[in-house]
Structure formats: C-alpha cells, structure tokens
Structure 1
C-alpha cells in the first residue's frame, strides 16, 4: 500500500524539552510524522537520566539505566523514515519475535538496530544474592528456574507453576493488549477494570506473589524488579507481575559501549531524519497564550502552548511543545500557575513521588589471582525486605542496612575501563528529599558503609586497596542536575492511584498543543515504558493534527499470535 503524503505546505514544528530516551524516541517519531523537531537539553550531552560520563582516568560510566529489554521497541525506531508517519508500522516486528539464533551467537536486535548499535544478550538476567550468601540466577529458563526453586525452596515448586500461569495472563492482557492504550478519560479506564479484577492484578505485587510462594526468598525474587522502575513491591499493583514475562519473552540486553551508545545511536537517527539537538539549552518557561494570543492570566478559557523561553532569555516558537522533563517540575517551575487547572500546585505537590537513589561509580584494578565471582547485573538483598521498603518509601529514613544493585559492565564490555581494570556502579535505594536528610553528611557515610560491605562480604575482596576511581550521586543530583521534584529518581510512584488514567496524561488537560513523554507520563518508568510513552504521545499528536495512521492501538493479531507462541515456547 502506498503511503498518502503528509501536508507539506508548511511543515509543523515541535519543541521537545529534554533528551532522555523518551524525548529522543519521540523526536524520531515526530520526524517520521513530518514535523521539524528541535530537542532542547540543559546538560552538555544528551541522555537525561541516561547520561554517560567519561572520566579523565579512562573510565566510562552510565549514570542511569543499564537494563535493556524488549529490543524490538528499539528496532521500530531505527526502521522509521522521514515523512512516512506510522503507516503500516508493526507494533511487534515479527522477525524480532521468533526464536532467535542471534541470542545463541551473542548478538540481539533487528537488522536496522545493528546499523546503529550492537546489542548483546545478558545471561543470567540477574544474579540475586540473599543475606545468607545463597543466590538465585534469574535467567528466564523455566527448567533452570524450577531446578533452583527445588534447591532453595522446594515447597514452592507447585506455587511457581500457578504464578507462571497467572503472570502470563496478566502479561497478555496488560502488556500485549493494553500496552499502548492511552487512558485519557475515565471511560477508557473503567472498560479494563473488570479484567484487572478478574486477574487479581489490582492487589499489591508483594501480596500477589505471596499467594504463590511461602519462602521469603522466592517472594523477593519474583517481586524485586519494580524497584528498578521506582516502585515499592509492597505498594505497586500486581499488574507489574507482567515484568517477569516481558523479561522472560525477550530477555535482557546490553548495548556495547554502555547505554550511552544507545543514546548516541538515537541522536544519530534523529539527526539523519532532519531533527535538531541543542545542548546547554535549559528551558526557563513554557510560553502559554490565551484566546487573544496574550500571556495567560487565569486558568479559564483557551490556553495554548506557543513555545519556550530558554534560561538565557531566547524565545523559541513552535506548533507543539513536549516535556520530557520531570512532570512535577514541568508544572511547578515551567508552566505559569494561571495556566493550570487540572495540574494545579495542590495536585502536583500531593502526588506521591518515587524513591531516590545513592549511586556510587567506581573503578578498580582487576586481580587475576582472584577473578570476580559476580555477574553483569547483581541484586544484593539485605537481611530485611519488607521492613527496609517501609523505611524507604513510608517512613523516609535511612535504615541500619541496605540492599543494592551492583552493575559490572566490564565483565561484558572491557572497553569501559583501562586495561586490567573494572568499571562498576552500585545503586542503593534511599528516600527522596522529603526526608530532610542532609546528603552532604549522610552521603559519605553511606558510601563508606557500602564499600565496607562489598569488601567484607567478599563480593569485591580488598576493594579499597584496588580502588582507582570513586564518585557518587545522591538525591541532590536528581533534584539539582536532573531537575526532579524532591530528588525523585523515577517520577510519580507507580501505585494504583497513580497508574493508567490516574497517571499524568500524555496530552495536557490544561493547555492545548502541550504534551508529555517519559517516566512521568503513561505508562510509567523504565526504558521500555518510556519508549512506549513516546509512541503513545506520537499517536495523540498524529490524531490532533489529522495525520493518518494505519496502525490500531492494540497489537496486530498475527504479531500477537507470534508473541504468545514465543511465550508458550518457554513454558
């Protein structure tokens, strides 16, 4: 079928605030829809939370996300072409879904992806260490999973089979069928509530998991993943059990060169399509006018986004403005209060924000006599699980112990460190800045405790002697450098009352031609979700501007059948 031409009498223009993965993904999509798009980034390099830092002593650190799932989302972006819209674009390209020999040869991703970046599969997905020294290699292989459950918690083998079946049902409904649904009105939400109730997907994830598993270790293994998207397993809805199947179906991947290599590849694709990226271009205000074209003075009547004012005073105008920045601070700092009714100061400040992080970036000498007995992704759980989560999310205090995610990418990609060295980061969930903690005081103390733990427990023996580089970030980095409200790390906390329709909408309810994309919008945080958010927002813009789309909001039937076949093949 030949694609109808877009109206090019005057090309529509777009401004995107922020060059995170969500902003870059949307920029690529808008260029494919025929917009002339400029992405404005306040930092000196693209990426936002996915910023990559190169040190003078030869280390490369991904500052943020390191886990890549659902590689066909990436393939979709690299397959887009200028002015083609989304005509005929598959939601799930079939060639990326069939059983893939590339995983066995150490390469993953579709043919267009491989023109821009090299993705490799990571196995196991995570090694999960328990406080008693035992561990669980989470790799998506059902036989390996059953074997390890049999060794660690044989009483839970039957429960795992029931969990597997019910998590798959949630995955099929919540991800395959509803994944790209934008819940813009209450009716769209009410239509799916009966299914979510039937699937028991509205109770908390930890409660859901506890139905199937008696052993605390298994409850932790099958609930911890939401922490990687800012969600407390004790509070997020059980629909997040779908993560188990998302990872199981498409695996965990790594971009050689780090996530920063994926960011650079997105920038390259965006610029090839004609887009413009401006660095060191922080936005001071989103310009909003009333029905007479004057600056808006009250939240009644027509309100339209017309452009932005940069921190240096320069004004840029466009047909649409999109914020890939923090949802709360977009409203509180960049949109005049008089222009906001739904997203009022009261609503924004009352929203629950995700927790924050202390992240330590460190380099150390390898010890050939004692090779690291770690994996690429390591989850190191402390002695307490529910109590620690309650302290971080509820009481907002630093506990007597901690859990951490230890990332050692040089086990896969030695190019990130000088020869004979490793680059690593370890991420510790902590309360956001509503805690009142003084991170200038608490940060160094917690860093010291983490180093002592890694050394004394034998994860990295003699670590302090081997250290050649060390730096860290706290919630203050998220608040000041990344401009996140209260220093949150993942946007609004993904609890039930802040999910789907109740999560900030990708099309502003207050202001015409203003849109949101990224972790603060629907569907939520995490690398695959912000790429989904970009597609949702692009569809809304296409609808608003009358740009024809041939793709329905659900998953094409043929592709859905393939997905189910793949999921079934791993039973």
Structure 2
C-alpha cells in the first residue's frame, strides 16, 4: 500500500526528500489529458489508463479503410487561450496562480478571429477560425448565419424579424453581464461547500440568471426563430434550453469573444497534440487498460466495511486483474458509473446509490458518420450547421421529459471537408450528423429504432435538398446510438454529456471535483464542475489541479 497523504505525515527536519506523488487518471479524454499535463507540471508522476485503443474518449477519432477520418465526438473548439496555457506548461512550472483570462475581454463588441491559437499551440496543432460559427437552418428553408459579429447579427435580425432589433440590444447587454460574472469571475470557482454557493446567489438573481434559458431568451425576442437561435447552443453541452438556467446565455459571449475554431486534421489532431505534450512532460499512457475498480481502504490500509470513518483511495485494479498503486486517483470517466461501478458501496456516504441514480442524466445521441461523392453541385452548407425541425419546444419535451422518439427531429450537421479536404479521399466529403435522442431510461430498442432513424435522416437530407442526391452519392455509412455511449464509453444510461445541467445540478449541486467520500479521489471532465463542453472540461482540469496542489501543499507558481 502507498504511504499516508502528505497532510497526515510530519517528516523530520532534514529528512531525505520523498519521491514524487504518483497519480492514476482514469480516461484519456480531454479532461484526463489536460489534467495529466497539469499534474506533470506540478511534479507528480502520472499514468493515464484508457479502456479504448487510443486517446480522446468522447473525442476519439476513427480512420476507415476506405480513406475517411471521422471525429466521433466534439468538433467545436472555443477559448483557444486555454490550449495555449496547456502547451506552455513545463515540469515544475504549473502556472496555476496567474490570471485565468486575458485583461482585454470585458466589453468585447466584435469577435476576435485574428490569432487562432498562441505561439506554443502552433508548435503542436494548427487551429483555424471558422466563420460563420453556425448556419442555423429553419424548417421553412430560411437560415441565420451566426458569426458573433453584432453588426452582421443586427442586419440579419432586421431582415428576419425587425421588431426584435431593440430586444437584441437588451439581450446582448444582459448576456454580456452574465458572461462577465458567471464565466470570467466565477468560471474557475469550485463550489465545494454551501457557503461558496450562497455568496453568489444574490448576483445570479440580480442578473435573472436562474430562470430557464428559453424563458430568458423569450423576454427579448418575439420571433420563434430568434428564440431558437439564441437558445439552441446548450444542446451542444447536453442541456435542454427549456430547463437549463439562463446563466448558460454566457455561451453566446464565450463564442463571440474568442470565436469558434477547428483543429486541422480534426479534433483528433488536437487530442494527439495534448497527448504529445503530456508525454513530453514525462507522463505515461496505457491503452486497452479498462479499470475494474478503485482500491479504497481505511487510513491504516484495511478494507472499508461501512461508509463512515476515514476512506482513502490507494490505486486502481484494471480489468486484466493488474493492480496499480497510487497516491491519488482521478476519474475522467462518467461520474455516475465511477461511483456505482468502481468505488465500493461501503465507502460511499454522499455519492451513494440513491443519490447517484436519482440524478438526471443528459440526453443521448444518434450520430451518423458518412462519406459521399462531390458531384460538382455546390453545397449550400457551412462547416457547422444546425438543422431545426418544424417543432422546437414540443420536440425538446419529448426528448428530455417523455423520453420518446418524435415524428420529426433536429440535427447538427458537421461537414469538416469544407475546411479540411484531408479527411476524405479526393473528390469526396466526410460528414457527420448528430441527432439528440432520449437516453437509455427510455427503454428504446436501438437495434430496431437505430436503422429506422438513420433512414429517415438520410431521406430528409436528400429530399429537402440539404445534400441533393445524397443516397445515390453515399460511399460510406455507419452510426452510433445510445448503446455506444452506454457500452463503449461506459456512460450511465447512455448519457452523452454527464449529468443534465439543471439549476439543481449546477455549481455546488453538481458532482464535486474533490470526492466528499474518499480522500485522494478526484473527478475531472464533463461530469464534474463546471460542466460539459471542451472549454468547461479544460477548466475542470485546472480546478482539479488546484485542489490537488492545495491538498498536497504544492506551489501553484
């Protein structure tokens, strides 16, 4: 067994320096790799164990025998200075104490698109700004190109719903205030106790940030289309616009302040860059190394038999049976399954079965990865496209509340070969389209429903002229359903984004990055604070690194 934590020992004066602390991180997704870089910079010795055969987790990249490259998960990169922070770190120079945001971001009026990644980032990966951020296509065929530029936004609102121009000015002002308080000032706050939460409640009430996002948006816009334009983004982090708190209006400003970016070679290229940086700092990664359980004992190394008294994480046991001792264990895996499957029930007082199973999980996804011939007809599409169906509120209620498949659907269509032709064979496009669907609590049989929904989606894209003649031009087709998230990614109920970001599952009420149950056990990633989405996951890594440094009495400089 490993030694007791540093805080529990009192080394003698002039004692020989102890060895670096050893940390095991479960999962090589964005959160695990970002935290691994930060722990190596803190001077720890870190090993990441990953169940899959390569890095990325939800951001895994697949290469097909016929020459296509598909990012399996996230494709939207924002806040590039978060990446620059990671690529600048060096062993013994954790840089956790400095300002979290540049000084020039308050009051930003125009999106910044000039420098897509700092000098250290460019040593590892090429980021390219994407404009517009999204093309939002309505069911009647009209569309709104959202690029974060207020003047262009005003022009399009004037054409689409001129009665809402004044409302947009008020929305812009109020969303900016939420962004400055909720993201710039509170973004890195770890809500580990009730007092921290209570201190910010008055500000959130003053900003009207606790009502639902869709209700908040509806205050400013009469047009149903504009209500959709300024509320849909939470679906990209697993949130229902009808139920997430209005503090998520800050996403609008996060994107317009720093832009939306694409990593050339796909998100997989960014994942590989993070892995390279981690290895350069001395970190170890082991693939095909799923974790069976987290070893927990009492303070004296004895088995835990009841959820009271000292409980200490001592390492992990792999599915192969191999035991990896460690001083710290951090899970970048699914929050619910980390506790339900990998931490003994006798060691869980706060994150017990009742609490974990009662938490509402985000929706799931059906994602179709396809390749098609470029037959010379221009595609009236952008890199990122949001294709909205005829119903908005009713469809959201079916997905999140009723957990049923509706007669229609909305989708996010990603066509990266419009920016990066290298992801497909010459003369072809690679694309994926993502359809929000209920998680596994629905009881739907995806072996039956999956093929039927895929056929409906292809028919829609073809017959509506989104990609004319698609079914005849298809050269590659595969898809994943909630079964993939539940099985391959080991997400409880097949959720795609962790706990649903409701008001009662945010801040203090969201899973804590420092386990309340087991000393030396931490969480990072979409299931922890602050939440899902690539910028939030990188923020989560910095928050968890700060907690670890605090607990080990390490310098943040």
**TM-score computed with the length of structure 2 as normaliser:** 0.95
Show structure 2 runs of 5+ residues with no match: 1-15
Superposed counterparts of 1:216-295, under 5 Å: 216-295=224-303
* Alpha-carbon shift at residue 99 of structure 1 (Å): 11
Paired with 1:200 and 1:102, the residues of 2 have a C-alpha distance of: 27
* Alpha-carbon shift at residue 90 of structure 1 (Å): 3.9
* Alpha-carbon shift at residue 337 of structure 1 (Å): 0.4
Q: Secondary structure at the match of 1:321?
A: strand
Q: Residues 249-307 of structure 1: CA distance to partner in whole angstroms, max 9, x if unpaired? A: 00000000000000000000000000000000000000000132112111011000000
* Alpha-carbon shift at residue 414 of structure 1 (Å): 0.2
Q: Secondary structure at the match of 2:306?
A: coil
Paired with 2:212 and 2:507, the residues of 1 have a C-alpha distance of: 15
Q: Residues 103-133 of structure 1: CA distance to partner in whole angstroms, max 9, x if unpaired? A: 35xx610000000000000000000000000
Whether 1:153 aligns to 2:141 is no
* Alpha-carbon shift at residue 371 of structure 1 (Å): 1.4
Superposed counterparts of 1:463-474, under 5 Å: 463-474=470-481
Q: Which segment drifts farther, 107-116 or 278-287?
A: 107-116
Q: Match for 2:214 among 203, 206, 209?
A: 206
Paired with 2:33 and 2:17, the residues of 1 have a C-alpha distance of: 23
Q: Is the 8 A contact 1:156 1:214 kept in 2?
A: yes
Q: Residues 153-185 of structure 1: CA distance to partner in whole angstroms, max 9, x if unpaired? A: 111000000000000000000000001000000
* Alpha-carbon shift at residue 95 of structure 1 (Å): 9.4
CA 1:133–1:344: 2 relative to 1, 3 Å: same
Whether 1:179 aligns to 2:167 is no
Q: Residues 370-408 of structure 1: CA distance to partner in whole angstroms, max 9, x if unpaired? A: 111110000000000000000000000000000000000
Q: Which residue of 2 aligns with 1:4?
A: none
Q: Which residue of 2 aligns with 1:113?
A: 121
Q: Is the 8 A contact 2:178 2:249 kept in 1?
A: yes
Whether 1:58 aligns to 2:67 is yes
Q: Match for 1:49 among 34, 37, 58?
A: 58
Q: Is the 8 A contact 2:411 2:436 kept in 1?
A: yes
Q: Match for 1:313 among 317, 321, 334?
A: 321
Q: Match for 1:442 among 421, 445, 449?
A: 449
Paired with 1:102 and 1:137, the residues of 2 have a C-alpha distance of: 17
- Structure 1 runs of 4+ aligned residues shifted over 2 Å read 85-90, 92-104
* Alpha-carbon shift at residue 85 of structure 1 (Å): 2.6
Q: Which residue of 2 aligns with 1:335?
A: 343
Q: Which residue of 2 aligns with 1:502?
A: 509
Q: Which residue of 2 aligns with 1:478?
A: 485
Q: Which segment drifts farther, 289-298 or 482-491?
A: 289-298
Q: Secondary structure at the match of 2:136?
A: strand
* Alpha-carbon shift at residue 9 of structure 1 (Å): 3.1
**TM-score computed with the length of structure 1 as normaliser:** 0.93
Paired with 2:260 and 2:17, the residues of 1 have a C-alpha distance of: 41
Q: Match for 1:424 among 417, 420, 431?
A: 431
Q: Which residue of 1 aligns with 2:171?
A: 163
Q: Residues 335-374 of structure 1: CA distance to partner in whole angstroms, max 9, x if unpaired? A: 1100100000000000000000000000000011x11111
Paired with 1:379 and 1:72, the residues of 2 have a C-alpha distance of: 26
Q: Match for 1:143 among 151, 154, 157?
A: 151
Q: Secondary structure at the match of 1:103?
A: coil
Paired with 2:24 and 2:538, the residues of 1 have a C-alpha distance of: 18
Q: Is the 8 A contact 1:76 1:93 kept in 2?
A: no
Q: Match for 2:467 among 460, 474, 479?
A: 460
Q: Is the 8 A contact 1:130 1:382 kept in 2?
A: yes
* Alpha-carbon shift at residue 92 of structure 1 (Å): 2.7
Q: Secondary structure at the match of 1:341?
A: coil
Q: Which segment drifts farther, 94-103 or 201-210?
A: 94-103
Q: Which residue of 2 aligns with 1:528?
A: 535
Q: Match for 2:94 among 85, 96, 99?
A: 85
Q: Which residue of 1 aligns with 2:520?
A: 513
CA 1:99–1:82: 2 relative to 1, 3 Å: farther
Q: Which residue of 1 aligns with 2:553?
A: 546
Paired with 2:71 and 2:396, the residues of 1 have a C-alpha distance of: 25
* Alpha-carbon shift at residue 435 of structure 1 (Å): 0.2
Paired with 2:110 and 2:257, the residues of 1 have a C-alpha distance of: 11
Q: Residues 469-525 of structure 1: CA distance to partner in whole angstroms, max 9, x if unpaired? A: 000000000000000000000000000000000000000000000000000000000
Q: Match for 1:359 among 340, 361, 367?
A: 367
Q: Which residue of 2 aligns with 1:103?
A: 113
Q: Is the 8 A contact 1:491 1:525 kept in 2?
A: yes
Q: Is the 8 A contact 1:494 1:524 kept in 2?
A: yes
Q: Which residue of 2 aligns with 1:326?
A: 334
CA 1:94–1:337: 2 relative to 1, 3 Å: same
Paired with 1:417 and 1:100, the residues of 2 have a C-alpha distance of: 34
- Count matched residues: 541
Q: Match for 2:395 among 365, 380, 388?
A: 388
Paired with 1:162 and 1:347, the residues of 2 have a C-alpha distance of: 40
Paired with 1:28 and 1:142, the residues of 2 have a C-alpha distance of: 37
Paired with 2:287 and 2:515, the residues of 1 have a C-alpha distance of: 25
Paired with 2:202 and 2:100, the residues of 1 have a C-alpha distance of: 25
Q: Is the 8 A contact 2:131 2:147 kept in 1?
A: yes
Q: Match for 1:491 among 493, 498, 520?
A: 498
Aligned Cα root-mean-square deviation (Å): 1.5
Q: Is the 8 A contact 2:212 2:241 kept in 1?
A: yes
Q: Residues 293-337 of structure 1: CA distance to partner in whole angstroms, max 9, x if unpaired? A: 112111011000000000010000111000000000001100110
* Alpha-carbon shift at residue 10 of structure 1 (Å): 1.1
